[in-house]
């Protein structure tokens, strides 16, 4: 379960609800992004308590975020967030590219991926972009430049970027580092895309995204994350905790 699915839940409550729903892992924020703020970050003061609660609940952190690759970024500023992720049992750290200079971004990601490796994590690029079908190819080029790292796949970005499906089929299994799942409608404007990213996606199986086809491309034992901020459930009266339970229940039905 990704904390993005219910940002208004405190971390301690998210742990309780996700464990009760039968989740194995969480994706948590261990770094406040340099291009935004206000996320529920696990900081040094909270780390020991969060780690204890997760251990008692039988959960680990599969992935941690948010690590945008920005112009002028000092990767040393991300090292505490990576260390916190490793302490919570994470194996992946998720980055997105926020630098329009592709060459500079590639060099910055290389430093990020090296810092991830030093912390025992794999640095992953979550490619994004509205009607940018070359976004994943650019991310793969950065990973090759770094000599380490992997791709994050999210059906929202796959659909809205217009990524050719053949490029997904050409991915080697070891190029896929992390997978986030949600559902939605195939048609969508750029404004829809911005809203979907923040608050308005659908439970699995209740939209038109090619989820079954995407899952068929993954290694059978790969863990997947539910990243589904879902306005429709909130509008029906579900609170944050009930949303998490409902998203997991509907995902299990779909996956079965």
- For 142-181, what is each residue's pLDDT tens digit? 999 999 999 999 999 999 999 999 999 999 999 999 999 9
pTM score: 0.96
Q: Is the pLDDT of residue 34 over 90?
A: no
Any idea which fold 3-255 has? Answer: TIM Barrel (3.20.20)
Q: DSSP for the chain?
A: -BGGGGTTS-HHHHHHHHHHTT--EEEEE-S--TT-----B--HHHHHHHHHHHHHHT-EEEEEE---B-TT--GGGGHHHHHHHHHTT--EEEE-B--S-HHHHHHHHHHHHHHHHHHT-EEEEE---TT-TTHHHHHHHHHHHHT--EEEE-HHHHHHHT--HHHHHT--GGGEEEEEE-B--S---HHHHHHHHHTB-B-TTSS-S-HHHHHHTS-TT---EE---BHHHHHTT--HHHHHHHHHHHHHHHH-
- For 39-70, what is each residue's pLDDT tens digit? 999 999 999 999 999 999 999 999 999 999 99
- For 103-140, what is each residue's pLDDT tens digit? 999 999 999 999 999 999 999 999 999 999 999 999 99
Q: pLDDT confidence of 33, banded at 50, 70, 90?
A: confident
- For 182-222, what is each residue's pLDDT tens digit? 999 999 999 999 999 999 999 999 999 999 999 999 998 99
Q: Is the pLDDT of residue 254 over 90?
A: yes
């Amino acid at each position: 379960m990704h904390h993005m699915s219910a940002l208004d839940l405190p971390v301690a409550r998210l742990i309780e609800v996700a464990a009760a729903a039968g989740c194995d892992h969480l994706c948590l924020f261990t770094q406040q992004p340099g291009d935004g703020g206000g996320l529920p970050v696990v900081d040094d003061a909270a780390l020991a308590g969060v780690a204890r609660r997760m251990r008692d609940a039988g959960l680990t952190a599969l992935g941690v975020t948010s690590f945008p690759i920005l112009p002028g970024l000092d990767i040393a500023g991300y090292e505490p967030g990576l260390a916190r992720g490793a302490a919570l049992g994470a194996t992946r750290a998720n980055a997105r590219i926020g630098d329009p200079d592709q060459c500079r971004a590639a060099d910055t990601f290389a430093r990020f991926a090296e810092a991830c490796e030093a912390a025992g994590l794999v640095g992953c690029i979550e490619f994004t972009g509205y009607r940018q079908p070359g976004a994943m190819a650019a991310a793969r080029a950065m990973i090759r430049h770094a000599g380490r790292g992997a791709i994050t796949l999210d059906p929202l970005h796959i659909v809205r970027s217009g990524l050719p499906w053949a490029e997904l089929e050409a991915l080697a299994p070891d190029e896929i580092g992390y997978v986030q799942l949600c559902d939605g409608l195939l048609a969508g404007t750029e404004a829809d895309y911005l809203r979907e990213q923040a608050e308005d996606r659908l439970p699995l199986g209740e939209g038109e995204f090619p989820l079954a086809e995407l899952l068929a491309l993954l290694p059978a034992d790969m863990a997947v994350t539910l990243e589904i901020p879902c306005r429709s459930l909130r509008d029906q009266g579900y609170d944050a905790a009930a949303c998490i339970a409902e998203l997991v229940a509907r995902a299990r039905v779909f996956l079965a």
